[in-house]
Amino acid sequence: MCGIVGYIGDKSASSVLMEGLAKLEYRGYDSAGIALLESGKIEVERSVGKLINLREKLSDKKYSANVGIGHTRWATHGKPSFDNAHPHSSEGLTIVHNGIIENYIELKTMLKEKGFTFVSETDTEVVAHLIKSNFDGDLKSAVQKTVQHVIGSYGLAVLSEANPNEIIIARKDSPLVIGIGEGEMFAASDIPAVLSHTRKFIFMEDGDITVLRKDGYTITGIDGQPVDREVKLIDWNPVMAEKAGYSHFMQKEIYEQPRAIIDTIRGRYSLEDSRVNFADFEKIQSVVKDFSRVVIVACGTSWHAGLIAKFYIEKFAKIPVEVDIASEFRYRNLVIDEKTLFVAITQSGETADTLSALRIAKEHGAKVISVCNVVGSSISRESDSVIYTHAGPEIGVASTKAFTTQVISLFLFAIYLGQERGTMSSDEAGRYLGEVLKLPEVIEKVLEQDDNILKLAKQFKDASDFLYLGRNVNYPIALEGALKLKEISYIHAEGYPAGEMKHGPIALIDKDLPIFILCPKSSVYEKVASNVEEAKTRDGIIIAVVTEGDEGLKGICDHIIEIPDIIEELSVFPTVVVTQIFSYHVAHLLGLDVDQPRNLAKSVTVE
Ligand code: AGP
């Protein structure tokens, strides 16, 4: 997830772009850059790290350009570096891009054969050269031809010396809005970037290509035919704008999950041959049949993702899996060797305990894969291979979209292992991949229940304790639900395997204890249903999360939240989203700092 801004008008383009990028820094902050059309020539300024570095670089420069494009980056292809920072240029034109070009290797090979040279590791530079190779004086048609050959997602803004009076922007599966001013036009990947200049916006749709001129705009489809898009008036205040209209980053990130999952799986599966592929897997591919066991190590929410992955990998690849908390793993007498596949799960890639565990595993000869959201982070650099989760930056300290994208990455990884090791047939893999594609819609349906979950949050916000119960893949969700509530509402909550309740926690149950029971349709449904009965007999207040249409628990439970029907393995997605929304509302209703809860940090770099 990166941030894009474009401007054409009479104002100082560098000021408009820098102001816009500051509002978009939450979308990415590993490097930033702008391109200006200065006296007919494109001038590009870029720098690594936060926007402040670019601002300092520009402080002693005097640009008078009134046309330009800008970008703040969250790396997907190529580490954060000067060369990989946007804009990317091809003689006489330059572009900024948000998204992932899936067929960039094939396009790069073709462009190299045509004589283009590459200075970055990005997929974006391929698009710059492709536009150039299609350019015959008409920039818009060059962009149109280019996007017809691109597979993947893009928000694009293109600037050319040959066409100084226009900026071309294009969108597919990556947000892009047009801001309409008086004698000036804006482009942005998100409204806040230019909200101080205009309130009139058009939300571009997939396949739209727009020519922005100082005095107006023209939108066509990918086939060149004109299209009409509604102009909307946005009346957000500045605080609402920063969070795209949501009250908190955490809420925004909960709502981003359908899109984040699409970004995570993009380009990693093929329905034609029912296969999963990961880039950068050479070191693993050659030895994948040799592993005798998998050891997963992580902390907190990432550890919960690991506990779910154990079910997936053992089922699909038939390899024993151990899941450990990184701070515990470090101080044991480890039995690890070159037949061990070590998997580190971490959204930040900087967690000190996980990093140390990874180093120890390497010393013992294990091959290391990390599942990580931050390209170029310490853990990703020290791993043999990385599965990037492509969730975009997560600002809220409580992890939401980082977690669900970890879980779906691990689900695909388990299919990959099963296929490579010959324990999973193509038919089976195809069936599971088909189920994965249902997830965005399933999560959307859970999000539609926000108001129902809010009612429950209002009813239970003053409870002093909570119990979360689940079994099988939903046992880690019980842990995650309890952790989320603790983290942001400071209410004591315990997560337990439902079958373990009778061995101790049952003593806690009385008429004042709310119990979240995760009981979707599954192979253990009857077992969990019996646990519901046991809890109800002790007067506990039961909030059950069940599959829609399930009548079995309706008479017994105090409250029911229905989730869409999905296979058991993937039921963790709707169940966890219910618990995220509940925790969010409880903390918000209690007036707490949802995004920055006390005593917690987003990245724990100390032991
Ligand atoms: C999640 O909500 C927490 N903030 C925390 O448990 C987190 O998952 C843990 O610190 C691990 O972080 P990592 O994924 O960046 O390694």
pLDDT band at 181 (very low <50, low <70, confident <90, very high): very high
Nearest CA to ligand 1 atom 13: 346
Distance 256 CA to ligand 1 centre (A): 18
For residues 564-585, average pLDDT: 98
Say how many C-beta atoms besides its own lie within 10 A of residue 507's C-beta.
10
- pLDDT tens, position by position, 12-27: 999 999 999 998 887 7
The pLDDT value given to residue 607: 64
Nearest to 163 by CA among 184, 132, 126: 132
As annotated, the active-site residues are 2, 602
The pLDDT value given to residue 494: 95
Q: Say what the pTM is.
A: 0.81
Distance 302 CA to ligand 1 centre (A): 6
Distance 314 CA to ligand 1 centre (A): 24
Distance 71 CA to ligand 1 centre (A): 28
Q: Which mutation among 348, 410, 594 tests ligand 1's pocket best, with the greatest number of atoms within 8 A of CB?
A: 348
The pLDDT value given to residue 25: 81
Distance 45 CA to ligand 1 centre (A): 35
CA distances from 403 to 307, 370, 375 (A): 12, 14, 16
Q: Which mutation among 302, 354, 389 tests ligand 1's pocket best, with the greatest number of atoms within 8 A of CB?
A: 302
**In this structure, what are the phi and psi dihedrals at residue 322, rounded to the nearest 5 degrees?**
-110, 140
* Mean pLDDT score of the chain: 93
The pLDDT value given to residue 238: 63
Q: Which mutation among 253, 254, 301, 488 tests ligand 1's pocket best, with the greatest number of atoms within 8 A of CB?
A: 301
> Which of residues 68 and 533 earns the better pLDDT score?
68
Pick from 285-294, 464-473, 505-514 the range whose average pLDDT is largest.
464-473
Distance 99 CA to ligand 1 centre (A): 25
Type of residue found at 36: L
The pLDDT value given to residue 245: 82
Ligand 1 atom closest to the Cα of residue 351 is 16
**568 SS3 class:** helix
Q: What percent of the chain has pLDDT over 90?
A: 80
Nearest CA to ligand 1 atom 10: 300
Consecutive H or E run containing 476 = helix 474-489
474-489 helix and 300-317 helix, angle to the nearest 10 degrees: 170
For residues 513-524, average pLDDT: 96
Ligand 1 first shell, C-beta below 6 A: 299-302, 346-348, 351, 354, 397-399, 487, 600, 603-604
The pLDDT value given to residue 526: 93
315, pLDDT greater than 80: yes
Which residues are registered as beta bridge partners of 295?
Answer: 322, 342
For residues 49-53, average pLDDT: 90
**In this structure, what are the phi and psi dihedrals at residue 55, rounded to the nearest 5 degrees?**
-60, -45
93, pLDDT greater than 90: yes
Nearest CA to ligand 1 atom 6: 300
The tokens for 179 are 């801001």
Q: Which mutation among 388, 604, 607 tests ligand 1's pocket best, with the greatest number of atoms within 8 A of CB?
A: 604
Distance 248 CA to ligand 1 centre (A): 18
For residues 65-84, average pLDDT: 91
> Which of residues 227 and 75 earns the better pLDDT score?
227
CA distances from 17 to 35, 36, 269 (A): 9, 10, 37
pLDDT band at 600 (very low <50, low <70, confident <90, very high): confident
Ligand 1 atom closest to the Cα of residue 604 is 10
The tokens for 604 are 């724990």
Cα(430)–Cα(411) distance, integer angstroms: 13
The pLDDT value given to residue 574: 98
Q: What percent of the chain has pLDDT over 70?
A: 99
Measure the N-to-C terminal CA separation of the chain; round to a whole number of Å.
30
Ligand 1 atom closest to the Cα of residue 301 is 8
Ligand 1 atom closest to the Cα of residue 348 is 15
The tokens for 60 are 């002693």
Q: Which mutation among 399, 489, 600 tests ligand 1's pocket best, with the greatest number of atoms within 8 A of CB?
A: 399
The pLDDT value given to residue 232: 85
Q: What is the DSSP string of 104-154?
A: HHHHHHHHHHTT----SS-SHHHHHHHHHHH-SS-HHHHHHHHHHH--B-E
**45 SS3 class:** strand
- pLDDT tens, position by position, 417-462: 999 999 999 999 999 999 999 999 999 999 999 999 999 999 999 9
For residues 552-566, average pLDDT: 94
Cα(172)–Cα(205) distance, integer angstroms: 7
pLDDT band at 347 (very low <50, low <70, confident <90, very high): very high
- pLDDT tens, position by position, 209-260: 999 999 999 999 999 999 999 998 887 766 667 787 899 999 999 999 999 9
Ligand 1 atom closest to the Cα of residue 298 is 16
For residues 385-400, average pLDDT: 91
For residues 181-185, average pLDDT: 96
The pLDDT value given to residue 15: 96
The pLDDT value given to residue 314: 98
Nearest CA to ligand 1 atom 4: 398
Ligand 1 atom closest to the Cα of residue 402 is 14
Distance 345 CA to ligand 1 centre (A): 10
Nearest CA to ligand 1 atom 8: 301
The tokens for 24 are 């978009």
pLDDT band at 604 (very low <50, low <70, confident <90, very high): confident
The pLDDT value given to residue 285: 84
Nearest CA to ligand 1 atom 14: 346
143, pLDDT greater than 70: yes
- pLDDT tens, position by position, 194-212: 988 998 999 899 999 999 9
Distance 600 CA to ligand 1 centre (A): 10
Domains in the chain and their CATH numbers? Answer: 3-242 (3.60.20.10), 252-437 (3.40.50.10490), 444-589 (3.40.50.10490)
